Amino acid sequence: MNERYFSLYAKGKTPPGSSTPAAEARDAGDDAPPHRKWNHLPLDSIRAEFPALTDANHDGWAFMENAGGSQVPRRVADAVHHYMCNNYVQLGAGYPHSDRADATVHRAHQLVKTFAGVRPCSAGGAGGEVILGSSSTQLLATLASCFDVLHSVGDEIVVQRAGHEANIGPWVNLSKRSGAKLSWWYPGPNGGAGEIADLEQILTKDTKIVALCHVSNLLGEIIDLPRIVTVIRSRAARDCQIIVDGVAFAPHRPIEVDKWGVDWYAFSPYKVYGPHVGALFGSAKALELVTGPNHYFIDPKQVPYKFELGGCSHEACAGLVAMGGYLRSLDRAPHDLNIAGDLDPTRAECVAACEYMTRLEQTPQTVLAGYLSRMHERGFVRVIGPLTDDPNVRVPTFSFVPTTGGVTVASVVAAAHASKIAIRSGNMYGVRLLEDLNIDPEVGVVRVSLVHYNTEEEVAALITALNEVLLG
């Protein structure tokens, strides 16, 4: 990373060859022109974008472990390859190759801001920046370390136990380092992510941090984030930081950080059809509270540079830009694809893409939810998470354990693998939740996680494989 580039970035200037006035309008939250009519790419055309779904060397496997990482469109892999072959140089050096590298990294940050729904302060929003790193786990750990000097005995930290350890462990450790009181928000009596009434009871005016998950990566349940933010703002300290793990939400629904009023929001683009990189949004007000851990001589106002230790992956930024092109293509008919790849998506196009993905997911989600609900009621499995296909309540991430003699999570997964269906078992880093649900984390659960490119036929094949092992 180079100070020249990031001083431009921190001052809101555009690196050479990067953004345009149209992009600035998109950052302000402008929607598409009123006459814009949304088209949609058919599912077979969508699947053709993904080599893992169509290339012969993958031998017909169906990928249903998407909560661990989605497949990527060919354009994302091609963009990474092209960047490394043509622009693999340091930023801010002033020659053409470096200028193109500057533009790529800038575009990637802007794309993630657009996708996350960041609205600039100048447009009446909360503002903020996005920080890129190797994963959400790494970014949240880095963030927690920045709070060390801000918290001490007398402060309180509330942590939801239904989430991934990435947004639990850092705050548990902060509590130990600072002496701040740790309060747990436990799962609900029916095994849900947590009751809002329970959260209300543990919030106090000394609560300085609330860490929670938007969707549990095991339960698939969508929490009512807007309502929870309202509750926290009314009961916690005025400067309480709301830190949300949105990793399991982002592949399925539009992220709207400005609308929700959260302080920090993490997600993983590599689970949203992009390269292996994590992203962390921080509002303008939240970023004023903490100083990033990068070198002492880097101005604290140079965000995201101050938080991106050693710099973000430049080639991953090229992949992120291509991921934006894929999202933009989803609301276009096949004959329009030639205009979709070179422009970054508007906020309206990001929302349209997410809403279309939700619609594509619905039939496979309904089929699988119905099957697992019936098997749960008949005593063959125990499903953890909502027994519904309602897209307002859950995303298509399902976890269960077999309850019939002789059938194990390992044998269920083996049966699926024998049918060329990629699922897995384990604790998925939700150890504390499984302990609360009286499930051995060393054994874990079977998890099936669908996204928009999965088909009803693939789900039918999974059901056939599950029946063979569960029903004998």
Q: Is the pLDDT of residue 36 over 60?
A: no
Name the residue with higher pLDDT: 234 or 189.
234
Cβ burial of 60 (10 Å; 0-12, 13-18, 19+) is exposed
H or E element that contains 130 = strand 129-133
Give the DSSP letter of residue 215. B
Q: How far is CA 48 from CA 41, 53, 325, in A?
A: 11, 7, 15
pLDDT at 341: 52
pLDDT at 472: 83
Give the DSSP letter of residue 57. G
- Give the Cα separation of 434 and 4 in Å (integer): 48
Cβ burial of 11 (10 Å; 0-12, 13-18, 19+) is exposed
Identify whether 304 is preceded by a cis peptide bond (ω within 30 of 0): yes
- Yes or no: say if 102 and 83 are a contact pair by the CB < 8 Å rule: no
- Give the Cα separation of 260 and 119 in Å (integer): 12
Q: Dihedrals φ, ψ of 276, to 5°?
A: -75, 90
pLDDT at 332: 72
Range with the lowest mean pLDDT among 141-150, 212-221, 390-399?
141-150
Mean pLDDT across 23-34: 44
Give the DSSP letter of residue 346. P
- Give the Cα separation of 297 and 277 in Å (integer): 26
Mean pLDDT across 101-114: 97
How many Cα atoms within 13 Å fall on the side-chain side of residue 364?
A: 26
- Per DSSP, helices labelled H in 165-204 are 169-178, 196-202
H or E element that contains 457 = helix 456-470
How many Cα atoms within 13 Å fall on the side-chain side of residue 302?
A: 20
pLDDT at 166: 98
Percent of all residues in the chain with a pLDDT value above 90, rounded to a whole number:
85
Residue pointed to by tokens 């906020």: 347
Work out the pLDDT band at 189, boundaries 50, 70, 90: confident
- Give the Cα separation of 461 and 464 in Å (integer): 5
Q: Is the pLDDT of residue 352 over 80?
A: yes
Residue pointed to by tokens 């880097």: 298
What average pLDDT does the structure give for the chain? Answer: 91
Mean pLDDT across 413-432: 98
- Give the Cα separation of 327 and 347 in Å (integer): 11
- Give the Cα separation of 57 and 77 in Å (integer): 16
- Give the Cα separation of 135 and 137 in Å (integer): 5
* DSSP-derived 3-state class of residue 160: strand
pLDDT at 333: 55
Percent of all residues in the chain with a pLDDT value above 70, rounded to a whole number:
90
**Range 309-337 burial, b when 16+ CB lie within 10 A, else e:** bebbbbbbbbbbbbbbbbbbbbbbeeeee
Q: Dihedrals φ, ψ of 280, to 5°?
A: -135, 120
- Yes or no: say if 368 and 398 are a contact pair by the CB < 8 Å rule: yes
pTM for the model stands at: 0.92
- Give the Cα separation of 306 and 171 in Å (integer): 21
Nearest to 408 by CA among 444, 437, 462: 444
* DSSP-derived 3-state class of residue 444: coil
pLDDT at 336: 55
- Yes or no: say if 98 and 90 are a contact pair by the CB < 8 Å rule: yes
Domains (ranges, CATH) in the chain?
108-319 (3.40.640.10), 355-470 (3.90.1150.10)
Rg (CA), the chain: 22
Express each pLDDT in 460-471 by its tens digit: 999 999 999 999
Q: Is the pLDDT of residue 106 over 80?
A: yes
Amino acid at 217: N
Express each pLDDT in 191-208 by its tens digit: 899 999 999 999 999 999
- Yes or no: say if 331 and 96 are a contact pair by the CB < 8 Å rule: no
